[in-house]
Amino acid sequence: MIAGAGSLAAMPEDSRSTLAEVIGANVRRLREESGLTQAEFASELEFAGLPFQRGAVAVLEAGNRKLDLVELIVIAHVLNTSLVALSDDGAPLGRSTAWLTPGVVARLGYVRLRLAGNPARRREPMDPEIPRRAYEVLDLFNETQEERDARPAEYARRFPGFTFGQAAMANLATRSESERRSAARAGVDVDTFVTAAVMKWGHSLSDERDLRVRDATTSETDPRSVQALRGHVTRSLLAELEPILKEVD
């Protein structure tokens, strides 16, 4: 583990960056180059198994969040990069140093060499009890470069008029069982359903439902009442979406 997840301890005050700041700056740059907003990037991370919200992404990019190795691996995957690239500050090898912890300074070139010298190998899961969602995430790790290169064209075909970031978010939403059930209730395919939802609210129906339920409840609201409200809100949202579905379909 490079560092424990959570808030950063205070570092000595000097001109050196922390490793977290170097990584955060690279995450922001690569996210922006990918055309993703912080919210869209958080959605990609959540699908890959990291429960990140937009605020957590902002803290990460500011260099104020320590990341464990698993989080770094998933972040690198979602950004289609490597751990070596995430720790690269652009300086010549051996020329720059960074604080790893309040008491440890290391040359970033050395950090990158250590990361590059011990590649991890993924083991195929054999347990039949592993959820389908986990297999879908593992399938993403198995993508070839050709498949990744084909994404923009695929997104343009499936979600015409969307930015790459919007299409990436829509693509993730189509994998949701909740969106698939809602699409079936509306009598349309899931791509059409999600396209209409993004046009209407800027995100999926499930996300809009959760936002409205959150605004209408508190931590003290009875779980049964919350569940009943979720059903009511879902029906209302389906009704709101119906005119747009007729235009999109």
Q: Which domains does the chain have, with CATH numbers?
A: 6-116 (1.10.260.40), 159-248 (no CATH)
pLDDT of amino acid 104: 67
Helical segments of the chain, H only: 19-33, 38-47, 54-61, 69-78, 83-86, 108-116, 132-141, 145-149, 151-158, 164-174, 177-186, 190-201, 205-216, 223-248
Token pair of 197, please?
């939802």
Q: What local confidence, expressed as pLDDT, does residue 169 receive?
A: 75
- Name the nearest CA neighbour of 140 among 70, 180, 80: 80
Residue 114: the pLDDT is 65
pLDDT tens digits, 98-150: 776 666 666 776 677 666 654 433 434 433 443 443 334 434 444 556 766 77
Query: What is the structure's pLDDT at 25?
Result: 92
pLDDT at 239: 95
Give me the pLDDT at residue 116, please: 63
- For 121, other C-beta atoms within 10 Å of its C-beta total 4
What pLDDT does 148 receive?
64
pLDDT of residue 15: 58
Instruction: Identify any residues that bridge with 58 across adjacent strands, giving them in sequence order.
Output: none
The reply to whether the predicted model has a pTM over 0.75 is no
Go through 59-69 and write b for each residue having 16 or more CB atoms within 10 A of its CB, e for each that does not.
bbbebebbbee
pLDDT of residue 119: 41
Spans in the chain with pLDDT lower than 70? 1-15, 91-96, 100-106, 109-110, 113-145, 147-148, 249
